[in-house]
Structure 1
Amino acid sequence: MTDSTATGGTRPFRFGVVAPLRTDLPTWRDQVRRLADSGYSTLLMPDVPRWQPAPGPTLAVAATLTDLRVGTWVYASPLRPAWSTAWEAHSLSVLTGGRFELGIGTGRPGIEDELRELGLPAVPPGERLAQVREAVTTLRDLDGPDAHTPVVMAVRGPRAQALAAELADTVAFALMPGEDRGEITQVVRGFRATRDVELAQHVAVIGDTVAPFMASPDTDPAALHAVDSLAALPADPAAAAEEIQRRREEIGFSYFVFGAGHADVLAPVVAELAGR
């Protein structure tokens, strides 16, 4: 017996790719077009200052190249004022004809050090969560009654989950390396009992490689596979497709996000499962 129909029924699969601009512009443009041709639904940008162009302008350019949806994966709430995040998100929705998704969370582990380096206040987690609420609330005001920018929230603890249950359209659960699969399954099922929303999976490891921007460089792929971690998938497309379907049936995940370096390897999986 599976859990996928516990609330609103089985959601169709969709697949996103974190594809920052790390090459020359023509090569990146070709990559974006190839992602669209392969059946991916969403092109995503990380929020890592100084490592690549800023997410907003880059996504606006990407949206002119294909009909892909575009989004942030994810904005760190303390890096900019909440009103600025909301204004940028609403603007991207307008400029892309409604194809923008605001991904937002309280920041990566260790973001306090990054904030200090940037001369920004290292606010505590509770205050960062309040910034998320303010950004989404302001975005809803800017959208008005005739528009709705989808919000993807990255969550972990009970307070973040409660806020996501209130505000988010899609929820991604932050995983720690080697985290017990059974415990995460119970956490996600408990969340689904409160509200039926799309559930996303951030998968940083495919086979024996780790996607840049999606996990720590010292991540051990072999260790993750050894404990059947949700943070990893096999590189073999048939095995990956089977595991992805297992995760939807047993837990409810239907939106899977990979790194750009893994997109070609997983293209057969996307061709088989997207929209099903």
Structure 2
Amino acid sequence: MTEREFRFGVVAGRAPSGAEWAATARRAEELGYDTLLIPDTRHTFAPFPALAAAAAVTTTLHVGTYVLSAPNRSPGLVAWEAASLQELSDGRFELGIGGGRPDAADDAAALGADFGTPAERIDRVAATIEAVRKVENAPPVLVAASRPRMLRLAAEQADIVALGLAPETTEPLLARTVSQLRDAAGERFGELELHLNVAAVAATVEDIPSWLSRMVGGDPRDMAWNGGIAFLVGSAERIADLLCRRRAEFDVSYIGVSSMFMAEFAPVIKLIRGL
């Protein structure tokens, strides 16, 4: 199978002002990133208006949700919003959707939505994808998955699969997860683009900021020392080699990087693309 070209995304949730949000989008485009991705939480901007604003001040940067919590919106509403943003961005939108992170139940309650059982949330993801696929000029669909039932759904219906693994996950578990996805997808596996998110980029483990602990749920330096796949440590050359090896071994070609580290990661993009 021919290896996919790498894609790189910046994951950002908000900014102090509209001007600074626009500046983040423009900076991501200037640094060579392919997408600006936004989470779906009450602590971030509402995804669709924020992405519309980012698309309006850029020309090549794609924008995407990373990821919508399916219980928060009806399938029809998501399809309408997605179709609108796909048109307004001139085809630069990708819809990311998942069943909701562990603390997303509070968000759903605050928004007047029923979070539902795990089975109900998987059904909502499937219904949302079905509704989006029916719109004219439907965007690509990313599904966040890590467990067998969602991996099967992603294998059957997604264009992009975000491997929603914990930051401390090591390569053996990554390998097992990709193997599960491959088995579920069968011949369709070659059509899937695999995404991994990066929590930190640093020259050394000691350079990883300790305040990141509140975002990753533990000591980020310990996670990095123990081989956590969400931490990229070393020179740009070393990181580029690591990502190329992971693409060859695990078929992961789409890398999301926290906006807090987008400048640190930019030299890796240049190396990989030979710029």
Q: Which residue of 2 aligns with 1:59?
A: 51
Whether the 8 Å CA contact 1:210–1:217 is kept in 2: the answer is no
Q: Which residue of 2 aligns with 1:11?
A: 4
Greater mean alpha carbon deviation, residues 65-74 or residues 215-224: 215-224
Q: What pairs with 1:43-192 in structure 2 (closer than 5 Å)?
A: 43-49=36-42, 51-67=43-59, 68-143=61-136, 147-192=137-182
CA RMSD in angstroms comes to 2.2
Whether the 8 Å CA contact 1:155–1:164 is kept in 2: the answer is yes
The 3 A distance-change label for structure 1 pair 91 and 177 is: same
Gaps of at least 5 residues in structure 1 are 1-7
1:201 aligns with 2:196: yes
1:244 aligns with 2:243: yes
Whether the 8 Å CA contact 1:211–1:260 is kept in 2: the answer is no
| Correspondent of 1:28 among 5, 10, 21 | 21
Question: How much does 1:211 deviate?
Answer: 9.5
Q: TM-score normalized by structure 2? A: 0.89
More RCO (CA 8 Å, sep 6+): 1
More helix by share: 2
In structure 1, distance between residues paired with 2:167 and 2:52: 33
Greater mean alpha carbon deviation, residues 87-96 or residues 109-118: 109-118
- Please state whether the residue corresponding to 2:134 is helix, strand or coil: helix
- Please state whether the residue corresponding to 2:271 is helix, strand or coil: helix
1:52-93 deviation per Cα after TM superposition (whole angstroms, max 9, x unaligned): 321101111111111200110110101111211121111111
Whether the 8 Å CA contact 2:146–2:164 is kept in 1: the answer is yes
Number of residue pairs aligned between Structure 1 and Structure 2: 264
- Please state whether the residue corresponding to 2:40 is helix, strand or coil: coil
Question: How much does 1:158 deviate?
Answer: 1.2
- Please state whether the residue corresponding to 1:120 is helix, strand or coil: coil
Whether the 8 Å CA contact 2:75–2:124 is kept in 1: the answer is yes
Whether the 8 Å CA contact 1:211–1:259 is kept in 2: the answer is no
In structure 2, distance between residues paired with 1:149 and 1:210: 38
The 3 A distance-change label for structure 1 pair 30 and 142 is: same
Opposite residue 124 of structure 1, the aligned amino acid is T
- Please state whether the residue corresponding to 1:254 is helix, strand or coil: strand
In structure 1, distance between residues paired with 2:165 and 2:27: 29
Whether the 8 Å CA contact 2:196–2:256 is kept in 1: the answer is yes
Question: How much does 1:245 deviate?
Answer: 1.2
Gaps of at least 5 residues in structure 2 are 203-207
In structure 2, distance between residues paired with 1:210 and 1:70: 30
